[in-house]
Structure 1
Amino acid sequence: MEVPIPDKLFYLQDVEVHKMYTVFFVLCLLFCVTVTFISNSYCMDTKCNYTRTLRCDILANCSGLKQKEILLINKNVTCIDLSKNRLYNVNRAAFYGFKNLTFIDLSRNVLKNIEEGAFSDLENLNYLDISFNINLGLAVLPNVTFGLNQTNIKVFKFEQITCPGGRSNILRRHHLINLDNTLITELSIASNRIEMFDPCVIFNLPKTIKKLSIAENRLIVGKYVLEYYLLTGVEIINASLRNTPARFIDSLSRCEENVDAFTCTSKTYDYSCQKNLSLSSMHHNGLISVSIPQNLQIVYANSSKLYTRVTKFQLKKNNLREIYFQNNVIHSWIGPIQGVENITILDMSKNFCSKLSNDIAEHLTGLLKLKLAENSLGSKFQFDMNGKILRNLRRLQHLDISFNRIQALPFLFMKNLCSLVYLDISHNLISDWNMKMGHMKKLSVLNLSQNRLGTISKQGMEELNKLFAVGNLSVDLKDNRLMCTCDNLDFLEWMLKYKAHFKNYKTYNCSNARQNSFQFHDLHVSVEKLKKDCKSYTAYYILVSITLSSLLSLVICIALYRNRWKIRYLRYTLLQNRRSGYLRLQTSSDNRFLYDAFVSYTSKDREFVIKDMIQNLEQVNGFQLLIRDRSFIPGESKSLQIVRSIQESRKTVCIVSKRYLKSAWRDYELNMARVEGVEARNTLRYVILILLPEVYSGGYPKKISDFLKKNCFIEYPDDPAGYEEFWQNLSDRLRECLHE
């Protein structure tokens, strides 16, 4: 008989089984985590990438694996890249047993400590980089360099092993003393806030150094500068980016570099090297002579905040080839500089230079590449009419004078640049291109973009034609002010003919109203359309020109005719003043006139003047008359004497007869009197016309109408009974003038 089992008992059994499964699952999970941790901690070698390169037989590339320790790595490797990890410490045994190791890169970790002699057992080591470990500080250098003289070290880099912000550092003698007996060829100490070098630091550096980088430091001028020439083996010096500030956020980052506890005294090391420093710079006949390392070939000092000017000096015997001084403030280039015949590359861009002497490049005879962009040399270039500045650069191949505010270049500015291959004059203010270029047979690039060119002169096109014929010259005229007009048709046709020589010509634009109708991407069609439009307007232009010229000529003729007497009067007046020094008096006094009246008459009326006028006016009334038959000087210009007589007489009396009105000379006298009244006396009433009966009996002539309107006449009576009254009236008119 079976005993029934209660339901509660089955429930308890299920609970126990469930607990067992839960415990088993937790144990499995803990086991997996433990295995994963152990794998990550002790089997990192499985993540390193082993490759073979030209430099390394076996390269263990462990970069960027976030390692905190140097763990199981195959000891047969020749190169180890441990950059971009989280390494904090390198102890004495870290690389023990790596007999074949030649290359170690520990850059960009968080290293704080490197034990003394950590690399001393690596006899084959030739490359060591501990850069960008900002917590190390210069204080760690004695530990790092300890024993390196027992290795085959060739390249040592410790760039930015100090905090980005902070007080300036001094590179002390003890920092690098362990390098004295090494054969280093490349040393990089960039970005370490170094302001000065202790005496003899540079002096004691290995003479085998060929490449030295002191870039991105805070170096100031000191006596240590004179030690550079003792680095007899150095070929490249990089002193660029001086005083470049760190990013603000980097300066505030948490950084605690090791403090240098070493106390240096004058007795610690020998500083006798400074005794001969004066030999590196001397004055001879007023010329500064400077010594530089004898094998130095390349100098980088760009973006170093140099504020100075280039004066006359001499470099002693040297092998200098390339100089990069761009992006400073070397504002005046005076020179000349001697000892620079071997330089092939010179970059002086971005130096705010505005002063340049004609002799600055006199000794740069070996120059191949010259960059002067982004200065203010335009005013100096445009007045160099004979090409003196560049006269000795016959080997120059590359010239960059862009961004110099150049408005024009003289025709002979580059007359000696026969080896030029590349010429950049872009981003200037050039509006006309006319320069001698036919001798530049090797020129392949001419960059004239970003200027103000509307066209190229006929002579300029002829010079470029010579180059198009002998080479594959490429001309860039992009972003200029090209004129697409009838006046510029010759240039556009020339451009169409040689379009293969214009770089990206399809992107060019017109600067005038035709920019929508003239399209460079379809240059042939646009030129033909413009030719047609210009041809249809030619006849119109000719007709308009002729019409305007005729109208202008007519207006001028009318003006000359209407003012002919005034012009003649002014001409004779000026001529008289110039010849005799006569100056017309501008006073209103009666004493300014020499005569009371000038008498104008024809030869037919001479008897009337001599018998009647002289008797009644001079003898009876005392008037002083100017009569040509009595007063004119023989041989002198009659025209001048007439004008002078009118100007010297208070009144002009004209005996008007029919013959008088027909006489050319009398007409001249009458019109000169008229102009005198209008221009000088502001009245015509000083003229008195004596009208003879033969004139007024038939009506008054139009020639004297303006005098008649002003009541400037007296009629001579045809009856002798009226003679007495006539002479009395005439005398009164003359006396009236005396008191005007």
Structure 2
Amino acid sequence: MNFVLLLAWIISIVDSTSLPCGPDGLCHCEHINVMDCSKTNELPLRNVCDYIDDSKGVKINILHLEQNGYKYIRTEDIKGCKSLKSLYLRGNEISYVEDVSLIKFDNLKTLDMSYNQLDVYNKRGTLAFKLPQSLIKLVLNGNLNVSDSAGVMYPNLSNLTNIEQLIFDGLKDTNFPVSYSEMQSLRSVSLSGLDGNCNMPYVSNDTFKHLTHIRTLNLSSCDIENVTAGVFEKLKNLEVLDLSHNMNLGFRKAMNITYSLQFTKIKSLNFSKLYPTFGLGTQLKLQDVCYLWNTNLTEIVLNDNRIQLVERNALILTPSTLKILRVEGNTFTFGQYLFQLGCFAHLEECYGNFQNHARDPYLYMEEPKIDESEFVSTNLNCPYTAPDVLINISKKKRVCPYFKDNNINMNKTLPTSPPEMKRLEFSNCGMQYNVTSVLVNPTPYKMEYLDGSGNIFYSWIGPFGPFPNVKYLNLSRNYCTHIGLKFFDSFRNVENLQIQENFLGLILSDKYYGPGIFEKLSKVKVLNLSSNIISYLHPAAFSNMVHLTTLDLSVNNIESLAIDVGSLNNLIHLNLKFNFIHSVPSYLREKLELNSKRLNKSFTIDLSNNTLSVSCNEKEFLEWMVKHRMNMLNFDHYTFYNMSGQRVDAERFVKDVIKLYMDCGSYSMIIVACSIGISIFLSVVIGGVVYRNRWNLRYLMRMTKIKHFGYIRLHQYFNEPERFMYDAFISYANEDVRLILDVMIPKLEGQGLKLCLHDKDFLPGNNIADNILQAIGNSRKTVAVISQQFLKSNWCLFEFNMARMESIYSRGGNSCLIIVILEDVPTRNMSDEMLDWMRTNTYIEYTQEANGELLFWDNFLQVLNE
């Protein structure tokens, strides 16, 4: 029994590891039945086959002999390889194969003789050597002599009764002979120029008519310029057609192709790169998709065609069977077609990544220069483009409006979405938007996967959607600085949330936003917040994520982790690498252990590239880390320092930690008590001073930062009068925005005043506090519109106090702060600084009473113009 187990273990190792084998150990065996003798410096073919024939107990079924410089194949050389099932001879120099050398390979299923010098395509239409009837796949591409290819024919292979797949070169002005109609097992033919030679500028109705049994036809990169209307009409079983990389074709000339596909069983159509990379944007017209309506297509690929617009009502004719749409690498812009996306009645997956993607300019030199004039190679009149037919089809679809003209009432007509959509990808498209409230119509109840990563969605306000059943949401790499409290209300069932590589550090630490951003995401299992410039997290940031198992906070500026994990009963994977962490809090360590025990799964934590030092202060944590070092991912590669500050490896670190109990001495409690007492005393004293002068300090710190790291105004050097960008910076609470936008701004701008507003003039990506100081410094006056909501906003109070400090320190004693009292505000709700300012400076009260309002505006404009 032990011998059997040992033998099984040895076989499993041999089967999973590449080991030397073959003659003189020059080959490699990744599996016990696969031998690779490629690129072995002309290792004699006979030696290889003799080795296979002599192998005892190990049966080689698959043999690779690519790029060995073989020039011929003789019967005597390969007789030992007769048991092979697959033989790969690609990239040799074989020009001669002995007539019957392969005929007795009764088990051979796959034969690859591509890129040799064989006389495969000749005017006789025959092969100079016989092939075994057992073949299922035959690869002969790359054997065409392009300079002498006129009048050559495809070889007669009618004796291969079991052949299913052929890979040939594509011959110019050559039809497949009638013998191919007898090959009833033939399912796939590839003539692709992407891996071989293909030059078929004109394809007629006779070119493929004898391939009656095939289901897959690959004509990619065949230099096709034109086709006749019935080109695929005889291929009744055709299911997959690849016409990609035919840059002379274009959509207009492809109309004949779509016409002939009506008579097939087509399911997948690849129309990628029918245009060169560079040029004007293309338009997908009604006539281009007309005949597709009468097919059962389930997948269409339109990648890299510079598609910019889709003609009105064209989407109505997309087949109802369509489930997968690939439109990557185009240049879509806003158009009427966006209101007809619901015409994709049963579309489940859409891939639109890399829109407006920058291209390698060298492609311009490599690609052909095409005449892209609107040339239509057919006189076919598609019956489905008639208005009455389009209207009838649109009515049969759930949300597929028909538009008579280009006049659309944007207030009454909403963009539609495919009602059956499950997966949508639009990553790396360079889209730059502030994601405000957007209603998706109809509600995509089946949507499960949404990827909008790699764009510039710099602010997520929402609500956006809703997307009630999305499980995977990726909004990473979007330069986002702000998340509205209602944004994730539309994604309550998300389980995997990827929002790494944004700028969310400030908003996640905010005491108002921090606890509420993820409040509705109770079902999230995986949360990625890496690379978000996070230095501090609000303790309640993840409190409602009761199903969270994996939390990634890597590549941030976190020094200490103070999050509430009381409700995180499923958290077992924590990634903290590339931070400034010295220790992990005890409550978090205990939580990981408890969760691991209850779930019967090992917890993991990654502290790579943090600063971990041997220290008495962190004794408890260091001992815990050493105890659980098997749970520390990449522990042997951590950065460790001993008590002297010298860098040590993991082994030395473990030994130093074990010695900590003796090294730390017995005065720890006294030292701790004294330290605590002194710290409390100093904290009280310093805290009182800092609190009393808190606004002065904040202002001076910010101004110091701007002075040293920002710019210096020119008037300070030349003693010139200061010039301001704005007449006034308006500070107001978001809840009062209607009064500001509808009344105050029109009135002031009507007087020729230039105003600064945080909604439109703050620079995206800048720190909010810096934006506020720049706005105050660049404005002649700052107007604080005081209301109940103003007093509740931390940012509004910050703006008031910074304007107050500006008046005191930077305007030579001239006040730049104007207070407008919007409503009755109890003085008990005002800060001491605000009350003190109002006692020594005048303010204006807003009223809507007719006479009082006239007086208000007279006074207000007079103060603003001083």
TM norm structure 1: 0.62
Residue among 564, 575, 585 paired with 1:457: 585
Q: Closer, same or farther in 2 for the Cα pair 1:494/1:124, shift >3 Å?
A: same
Residue among 313, 324, 335 paired with 1:211: 324
1:143-168 CA distance string (max 9 Å, x none): 22222111111111110121111122
Q: Closer, same or farther in 2 for the Cα pair 1:515/1:506, shift >3 Å?
A: farther
Instruction: Name the counterpart of 1:159.
Output: 272
Q: Closer, same or farther in 2 for the Cα pair 1:340/1:130, shift >3 Å?
A: same
Preserved CA contact (<8 Å) 1:449 1:476: yes
Question: Are positions 1:349 and 2:476 aligned together?
Answer: yes
In structure 2, what residue type is equivalent to 1:491?
F
Alignment of 1:142-541 (within 5 A): 142-257=255-370, 259=372, 260-262=374-376, 270=387, 273-275=402-404, 290-315=415-440, 316-318=442-444, 319-384=446-511, 387-470=515-598, 471-510=601-640, 514=644, 516=646, 518-535=648-665, 538=667
Alignment of 1:608-647 (within 5 A): none
**Greater shift in the superposed pair: 318-327 or 103-112:** 103-112
The root-mean-square deviation of aligned C-alpha atoms, in Å, is 3.7
Preserved CA contact (<8 Å) 1:137 1:257: no
Q: SS state of the match for residue 664, structure 2?
A: helix
Residue among 198, 201, 215 paired with 1:87: 198
After TM superposition, give the deviation of residue 374 of structure 1 in Å: 0.6
The structure whose Rg is larger is 1
Preserved CA contact (<8 Å) 1:138 1:258: no
Q: Closer, same or farther in 2 for the Cα pair 1:138/1:542, shift >3 Å?
A: closer
Preserved CA contact (<8 Å) 2:642 2:648: no
Q: Closer, same or farther in 2 for the Cα pair 1:37/1:291, shift >3 Å?
A: closer
Q: Closer, same or farther in 2 for the Cα pair 1:276/1:400, shift >3 Å?
A: farther
In structure 2, what residue type is equivalent to 1:51?
I
After TM superposition, give the deviation of residue 97 of structure 1 in Å: 2.0
Q: Closer, same or farther in 2 for the Cα pair 1:119/1:85, shift >3 Å?
A: farther
Alignment of 1:660-699 (within 5 A): none
After TM superposition, give the deviation of residue 493 of structure 1 in Å: 0.9
State the alpha-carbon separation in 1 of the partners of residues 408 and 526 from structure 2: 37
Preserved CA contact (<8 Å) 1:126 1:151: yes
Q: Closer, same or farther in 2 for the Cα pair 1:44/1:365, shift >3 Å?
A: farther
Q: Closer, same or farther in 2 for the Cα pair 1:289/1:335, shift >3 Å?
A: farther
Q: SS state of the match for residue 665, structure 2?
A: helix
Preserved CA contact (<8 Å) 1:519 1:526: no
Q: How many pairs were matched up?
A: 508
After TM superposition, give the deviation of residue 59 of structure 1 in Å: 3.1
Alignment of 1:30-179 (within 5 A): 39-41=120-122, 42-43=125-126, 51=136, 58-62=163-167, 65=169, 74-75=180-181, 76=183, 77-83=186-192, 84-89=195-200, 90-179=203-292
Preserved CA contact (<8 Å) 2:576 2:608: yes
Q: SS state of the match for residue 361, structure 1?
A: helix
**Greater shift in the superposed pair: 491-500 or 322-331:** 491-500
In structure 2, what residue type is equivalent to 1:168?
G
After TM superposition, give the deviation of residue 438 of structure 1 in Å: 4.2
Extract unaligned runs of 5+ from structure 1.
1-30, 550-740
Preserved CA contact (<8 Å) 2:531 2:556: yes
After TM superposition, give the deviation of residue 347 of structure 1 in Å: 0.6
Q: Closer, same or farther in 2 for the Cα pair 1:254/1:381, shift >3 Å?
A: closer
In structure 2, what residue type is equivalent to 1:451?
N
In structure 1, what residue type is equivalent to 2:554?
S
Preserved CA contact (<8 Å) 1:435 1:463: no
State the alpha-carbon separation in 2 of the partners of residues 540 and 388 from structure 1: 40
**Greater shift in the superposed pair: 262-271 or 507-516:** 262-271
Preserved CA contact (<8 Å) 2:176 2:210: no
Q: Closer, same or farther in 2 for the Cα pair 1:86/1:420, shift >3 Å?
A: same
In structure 1, what residue type is equivalent to 2:336?
K
1:665-686 CA distance string (max 9 Å, x none): xxxxxxxxxxxxxxxxxxxxxx
1:588-620 CA distance string (max 9 Å, x none): xxxxxxxxxxxxxxxxxxxxxxxxxxxxxxxxx
State the alpha-carbon separation in 2 of the partners of residues 67 and 476 from structure 1: 58
Preserved CA contact (<8 Å) 2:604 2:632: yes
Preserved CA contact (<8 Å) 2:253 2:376: no
Q: SS state of the match for residue 308, structure 2?
A: strand
After TM superposition, give the deviation of residue 279 of structure 1 in Å: 9.3
After TM superposition, give the deviation of residue 333 of structure 1 in Å: 0.4
Alignment of 1:685-724 (within 5 A): none
* Same amino acid, percent of matched pairs: 22
Q: Closer, same or farther in 2 for the Cα pair 1:508/1:117, shift >3 Å?
A: same
Q: SS state of the match for residue 234, structure 2?
A: coil
Q: Closer, same or farther in 2 for the Cα pair 1:66/1:407, shift >3 Å?
A: same
Q: SS state of the match for residue 138, structure 1?
A: helix
In structure 2, what residue type is equivalent to 1:186?
E
After TM superposition, give the deviation of residue 302 of structure 1 in Å: 0.6
State the alpha-carbon separation in 2 of the partners of residues 137 and 289 from structure 1: 32
1:602-649 CA distance string (max 9 Å, x none): xxxxxxxxxxxxxxxxxxxxxxxxxxxxxxxxxxxxxxxxxxxxxxxx
Preserved CA contact (<8 Å) 1:375 1:403: yes
Preserved CA contact (<8 Å) 1:117 1:145: no
Preserved CA contact (<8 Å) 1:110 1:134: yes
1:553-600 CA distance string (max 9 Å, x none): xxxxxxxxxxxxxxxxxxxxxxxxxxxxxxxxxxxxxxxxxxxxxxxx
After TM superposition, give the deviation of residue 86 of structure 1 in Å: 2.5
**Greater shift in the superposed pair: 271-280 or 366-375:** 271-280
Preserved CA contact (<8 Å) 2:135 2:162: no
Preserved CA contact (<8 Å) 2:640 2:653: no
Preserved CA contact (<8 Å) 1:280 1:291: no
Q: Closer, same or farther in 2 for the Cα pair 1:37/1:324, shift >3 Å?
A: closer
State the alpha-carbon separation in 1 of the partners of residues 275 and 292 from structure 2: 20
**Greater shift in the superposed pair: 372-381 or 269-278:** 269-278
Instruction: Name the counterpart of 1:23.
Output: none
In structure 2, what residue type is equivalent to 1:346?
L
State the alpha-carbon separation in 1 of the partners of residues 304 and 128 from structure 2: 33
State the alpha-carbon separation in 2 of the partners of residues 519 and 109 from structure 1: 59
State the alpha-carbon separation in 2 of the partners of residues 476 and 374 from structure 1: 19
Preserved CA contact (<8 Å) 2:341 2:415: no
After TM superposition, give the deviation of residue 338 of structure 1 in Å: 4.7
Alignment of 1:539-554 (within 5 A): none
